[in-house]
Amino acid sequence: MDSTASIIQQAQNQNFSVQGNPSEGGSVLVKIISSTEFPLDATASISVNSANVTLSQNELTFSVGTNFSEISITVPEDIGCADTSAELTLSFHQTNTVEKVALIVQDNDRCLFIAKNPNGAFALGFDGNLGGIPGADAICASEKPAHFPGQNTQYKAFLVGRYQKNGAPVTRGIGGDEWVILPNTKYYKFEENLLEWQLIFDRTDSQGKFPFNTTFKPMYYTATDMWTGLTSTWNTTGSKCSSFVTPGIDWTYGFDSQGGAPQNGNVGLANSPASSGIYYATKGCGSHALISCVLVK
């Protein structure tokens, strides 16, 4: 069997993949990996079907006895929070064969939406008995828009408070393991009327707190209350609809009387990009307010 025939036979048994998928806003060295080793040196032209992806070279060399070649891929920052896909095309010179390789570009940004309970029996939103923070997270999962990226369960409620996790008490608080806002991250919302992603706030700080800036877009388009449990200075000591029935668990006191004095919860204004977006008032837990849901993957 001559060398070309050997390469052709080898190519018929090969599958290619990418190791080290790139992310937006930077460059990364990735490996183009074959499922089998090359019996001889091989070269291939490489191209990509996306104008947003830049390759460091237009030709790859696969050395005899190896199963990979490396290339640097650069992707600029984009608008929105969804991963994108592209396709690499390898055209091998010796065999005139073409291989297609899927490429996933990971998005470093995150997105959020407002859970509204549009079919609620009393009013838009939810009373303070959210079923605790796990119940609020379940609400976010159930109201995730179909066109938002990620799994339903990857969306969590933008709330602070105490709850039980795996039988142990935990707290969702600023900068902790349970906090849902990532550090050094941009957040987007989807504007339904304009059918476009819009930047809500730019680059959270190292604790996952977002800046207050009136030039940013608000989370929601109307001045509607939104449960947070926060103060305007990111203090987590705000009222959180704590229950008499389940002491030490927040967001479990709502419309139905549970005995004792009525409870309250801190709310922000969902249409405010200023500090009033996380706190502007304390209201009774029998009242209704929205929930902000964020992608945490």
pLDDT in tens, 143-159: 999 999 999 999 999 99
Closest CA to 240 of 256, 228, 223: 228
Rounded Cα–Cα distance for residues 112 and 174 (Å): 17
Do the Cβ atoms of 281 and 217 come closer than 8 Å?
A: no
What six digits make up the tokens of 233? 């200075």
At residue 182, the pLDDT reads 95
Residue ranges making up the domain that contains 288: 110-295
Do the Cβ atoms of 133 and 250 come closer than 8 Å?
A: yes
At residue 7, the pLDDT reads 47
- Identify the band that residue 177 occupies on the pLDDT scale cut at 50, 70 and 90: confident
State percent of the chain over pLDDT 90: 70
Provide φ and ψ at 159, rounded to 5°. Answer: -140, 155
- Identify the band that residue 216 occupies on the pLDDT scale cut at 50, 70 and 90: confident
On the 0-12 / 13-18 / 19+ scale of CB atoms within 10 A, 146 is exposed
* Residue 256 clears pLDDT 60, i.e. is over it: no
**Pair (32, 67) in one structural domain:** yes
Rounded Cα–Cα distance for residues 88 and 38 (Å): 19
**Pair (71, 135) in one structural domain:** no
Q: Residue 184: which residues within 8 A CB-CB, separation 6 or more?
A: 203, 204, 205, 206
Do the Cβ atoms of 294 and 155 come closer than 8 Å?
A: yes
Rounded to two decimals, what is the model's pTM?
A: 0.84
- Helix and strand element counts for the chain (H, E): 2, 18
**Pair (121, 236) in one structural domain:** yes
Question: Residue 252 pairs with which residues in a beta bridge?
Answer: 129
- pLDDT tens column, 225-234: 999 999 999 9
Q: CATH number, domain at 158? A: 3.10.100
Rg of the chain, C-alpha, whole Å = 25
Rounded Cα–Cα distance for residues 295 and 155 (Å): 4
Q: Which residue has the tokens 């990364």?
A: 28
As for how many domains the chain has, the answer is: 2
**Pair (218, 72) in one structural domain:** no
- Identify the band that residue 176 occupies on the pLDDT scale cut at 50, 70 and 90: confident
**Pair (31, 136) in one structural domain:** no
- Which of residues 79, 105, 131 is at a domain's end? 105
- Which of residues 89, 105, 121 is at a domain's end? 105
- pLDDT tens column, 41-61: 999 999 999 999 999 999 999
**Pair (84, 127) in one structural domain:** no
- Which of residues 78, 105, 132 is at a domain's end? 105
**Pair (87, 129) in one structural domain:** no
- Identify the band that residue 11 occupies on the pLDDT scale cut at 50, 70 and 90: very low
State percent of the chain over pLDDT 70: 91
* Residue 8 clears pLDDT 50, i.e. is over it: no
At residue 245, the pLDDT reads 75
**Pair (179, 84) in one structural domain:** no
- Identify the band that residue 266 occupies on the pLDDT scale cut at 50, 70 and 90: very high
**Pair (160, 287) in one structural domain:** yes
Pick the more confident residue, 248 or 8: 248
Q: CATH number, domain at 28? A: 2.60.40.10
Q: Residue 140: which residues within 8 A CB-CB, separation 6 or more?
A: 115, 155, 156, 157, 291, 293
**Pair (276, 177) in one structural domain:** yes
Do the Cβ atoms of 93 and 44 come closer than 8 Å?
A: yes
DSSP for 145-194 reads -TTSSS-GGGEEE---EEEEETTEEEEE-TTSTT--SPTT--EEEEETTT
Mean pLDDT value across the chain: 89
**Pair (36, 145) in one structural domain:** no
At residue 9, the pLDDT reads 46
**Pair (115, 62) in one structural domain:** no
